Structure 1
């Protein structure tokens, strides 16, 4: 099993998470909007975590170098996307945001 992603790696996957894990992401957001207590949304949050971890592994398998370079750029630049657009473009070319198989 792959290790859990670091924060800069999650930032690198952020757009992918929103689009590729759309169902889980929306369910988690909607639940949090209607509940004040985090435990009330545990099933939705766990589903999003599982989907995100799967996406992380898929990114590592599909575009390992591009993902690593983009994530490291974000880490070195205080998570500022503007400073890493070239790395982001290369990563998204190798691992498109929209899954063509869906």
Structure 2
């Protein structure tokens, strides 16, 4: 993997959101459960950091396997104020190139 991949922007995180839930399921679930039990963010720092690491790893994988489809989808979300309904065609193209569930697992 290339080490020059930057941290994703907010609209890119929105574009990745369904993938994060399924492809980083363990980390996502742990962070959500911890935040449900604790009011203080510091109490969930390890779980949150694990989710950030998993998300950054997923972003690198996306940028290696389907960067064009992802960029078009993320830019569409950015352009239309994060309204998914306006970008369904771009979403379908991205999810075809980079399926939500990894078939190798």
Q: Does the TM-score normalized on the shorter chain lie above 0.5?
A: yes
| Runs of 5+ consecutive residues of structure 1 not aligned to the other structure | none
**Deviation for aligned residue 1:36:** 1.1
Describe how 1:37-48 pairs up with structure 2 within 5 A.
Answer: 37-48=40-51
Correspondence for 1:13 among 11, 16, 21: 16
Q: How many residues align?
A: 102
TM-score (norm 1): 0.99
Runs of 4+ aligned structure 1 residues displaced above 4 Å come to none
TM-score (norm 2): 0.96
Match in the other structure for 1:60? 63
Looking at structure 2, the residues matched to 36 and 74 of structure 1 have their Cα atoms a distance apart, in angstroms, of 31
Looking at structure 1, the residues matched to 9 and 15 of structure 2 have their Cα atoms a distance apart, in angstroms, of 10
Matched, 1:80 2:83: yes
**Deviation for aligned residue 1:62:** 0.6
**Superposed CA RMSD:** 0.5
